[in-house]
Amino acid sequence: MPSKQFTAADRTALAQVGKVFTQHAEALGAESLARLFLSHPASKIYFSDFTDYSAAGPRVRAQGAKIIGAVAEATGHLDDLHAHLEKLAAKHGQVLLVDPQNFPILASCILVTAACHLDDFSADDHFALDKLLTLICQELRSQYR
């Protein structure tokens, strides 16, 4: 049974966003992470082995691609986000010990980057992506005590 959290319009929008994110994961992810590091420098603590925090930095590009790739993949699991993100949530909450307040900050950076680069990023697309990112943040926080 489909989740009631996402409307048919949300699903259509997220399918399109997911395609673009998959095709441009490295560039969009690098810009999103660089935006995070610039606007919230304290977040660099989780990436202390990076030497270049700009969007051109090779580690930023690689990590950014993973992040945007994970968001793109989540667009295909709208009805089972909890199960889909369970291992990732455990890793962030129990192994990496990322402060969960960083997730919504990064989500905002992803939204801004998407708005800057997706040609047909309508208000409805923005709303659908924001809804997805909010739920992803909730799931990633689920393994914290």
Q: Who's near 78: CB < 8 A, 6+ residues apart?
A: 2, 3, 5, 6, 10, 11, 14, 132
CA distance 30 to 68: 9
- Whether the per-residue pLDDT at 115 is higher than 60: the answer is yes
Q: How many CB atoms lie within 10 A of CB 49?
A: 6
Share of the chain above pLDDT 70, in %: 97
Q: Measure the CA angle with vertex 134, ends 130 and 140; round to 5°.
A: 145
Cα 19 from Cα 16, distance rounded (Å): 5
Reported as a single tens digit per residue, the pLDDT across 59-114 is: 999 999 999 999 999 999 999 998 888 898 888 877 887 888 889 999 999 999 99
Q: Alpha-carbon distance 121 to 118, whole Å?
A: 5
Q: Which amino acid is at 79?
A: D
Cβ neighbours around 38 below 10 Å, total: 13
Measured between alpha carbons, how far apart are the two ends of the chain, in Å?
30
pLDDT tens digit sequence for 30-43: 999 999 999 999 99
